[in-house]
Structure 1
Amino acid sequence: MSAVPFHYVDLRAFCYATEDEKRVEAALRTFLPEDVDIEREETEGHHGDRILVMSARLERADEVRHVLSALARLNDFQQLIDELDQRVDDNCAFFIQLDKQAAYKGDVELGAGLMLRGKVEAYPAKKEKAVATAEEALQELAEERD
């Protein structure tokens, strides 16, 4: 992948009281370069239960490229590309939810538990331009993985 079409990528997962913190971190690390720190913020659920929010923001081109390369391992990667119009908002932000259990096992699947949000570079900053930019980059990734 030549140019990285994102200003940054945020990854976030919630670790509920019933979950093992190390497993949730391992799921997040499926998408992160080794040297990236994971921020932890403790909060409280509706019933007073502890929730740990784990997150990482990647801004360097190599880090973003690493996340996108991991994303390219999706079995339904073409579906992701086809859905870009629904996954990019009017602020040029790209959203995807990934399966936390699958990520813990090192697999990449659409699902729930891990949230990925990326700010797409688009000039001018319009949704249509962001979708086209993201599609071009993801299509390039798809070709690299085939």
Structure 2
Amino acid sequence: MSEVPFHYIDLRAFCYDTEGESRVEDALRHFLPEDVELERAESEGHLGDRIVVLSARVERADEMRHVLGQLRDGADIEQIRRELDQRVDDNCSLFVHLDKQEAYLGDAQLGDGISLRAKVEAYPAKKESAVENARDALS
């Protein structure tokens, strides 16, 4: 895959009080190249519990290839490709949710805990074009 039909890819995970922040960071880093910086924001839950939001955005083609490679190596790409009509919204964004525990263990599986949002390049910026470009990128 020489061209990457994405403007950027965002990854985000929440770290709750009951979780080790370094473990959640390791899970998120499973998808990221080494030199990508993580952003950290603290928030508070409904009951006053601390929540740390870890996130990263990759915009360079090599970084996006790395993220997509990690996704392809573990997640059920065929399931994602079958569900692209539901996973791409009218703003040409692709959404995939990944299992945080599996990512910490070094695997990429569909599940909960890590959100991946990729802005798909599509000209004209229509959902149908974005779905086709995402399908090609995930081949």
In the other structure, the counterpart of 1:74 is 74
Return the alpha-carbon distance in structure 2 between the equivalents of residues 113 and 79 of structure 1: 18
2:23 paired with 1:28 = no
In the other structure, the counterpart of 1:16 is 16
Return the alpha-carbon distance in structure 2 between the equivalents of residues 81 and 106 of structure 1: 22
Return the alpha-carbon distance in structure 2 between the equivalents of residues 36 and 102 of structure 1: 21
CA offsets, 1:72-123, max 9 Å, x none? Answer: 0135211111111110000000001000000000011000000000000000
2:101 paired with 1:123 = no
Q: Specify every segment of 5 or more residues in structure 1 that has no aligned partner in the other structure, as ranges.
A: 140-146
SS of the residue aligned with 1:62? helix
Moved over 6 A (4+): none
Return the alpha-carbon distance in structure 1 between the equivalents of residues 75 and 111 of structure 2: 12
SS of the residue aligned with 1:72? helix
Cα distance change, pair 75–54 in 1 and its aligned pair in 2 (3 A): closer
- Aligned-residue sequence identity (percent) comes to 68
Q: Please provide the CA RMSD for this pair.
A: 0.7
In the other structure, the counterpart of 2:106 is 106
User: Alignment length, in residue pairs?
Assistant: 139
Question: How far is the alpha carbon of 1:51 from its aligned partner?
Answer: 0.2
The one-letter code of the counterpart of 1:59 is: E
